[in-house]
Amino acid sequence: MVRPPFPLTAADVVDDAPVIPVIVLEEVARAVPMARALVAGGIRMLEVTLRTPAALECIRAIAREVPEAVVGAGTARRSADVQAAARAGARFIVSPGYHPELGRACRGEGLALLPGVATASEIMAAGEDGFEVLKFFPASAAGGAALLQAWSGPFGDVRFCPTGGIHPGNAGQYLALPNVACVGGSWLTPARALAQGDWPAIEALAREAAALRPQPR
């Protein structure tokens, strides 16, 4: 694989593969073998969520020991989250919502940002600050593929990574939409596989995700 340039753009992040894994890690020891399994399966943009005390150390370990991976930090809510993630080695940021201060922090650190949106007003607010590649969250609860299809008219220049309620059974429906670049999902790194160190299972899930194709509409 060719390593993406530094700094990344949001387009670099969403165009790399059909799925960005949304990863919750409780133990640093799991981070590196998990990342290697995902990369071996063809998935290298890895969103490690800042939901656990171990998250920053997991990002640091992946950034240091798995150069083929491109690790980012998810669930970033404050500028302090962005700064801590940058120090740990994150190369992109994913947020559940958007605030201008978060955008300024990412620009200050040279990190790509996928800001979360769920309404037309939020899309417009992010667009006003120059962000046109967005995370749609929580996708299923907020209106799903039907809402994304409706947005393709007034927001034809915006691309989305829907996350929340996405799984192998419906991912192809989202990927078939012209304004969807990729999807985010937690199914690639199930808690049981992480706990058991079942890296072949995670590699197999990554391989299936990397091969996902849009379903006919």
Catalytically active residues are 47, 135
Buried/exposed code over 45-71 (b: 16+ C-beta within 10 A; e: otherwise): bbbbbbeeebbbebbbbbbeebeebbb
The strand ranges marked E within 108-201 are: 112-114, 116-117, 133-136, 159-162, 183-185
**Residue carrying structure tokens 């059909």:** 18
Tokens describing residue 161: 């990574």
Cα angle vertex 102, ends 58, 209, to 5°?
50
User: What is the rounded CA–CA span in Å between residue 176 and residue 216?
Assistant: 7
How is residue 97 annotated by DSSP? S
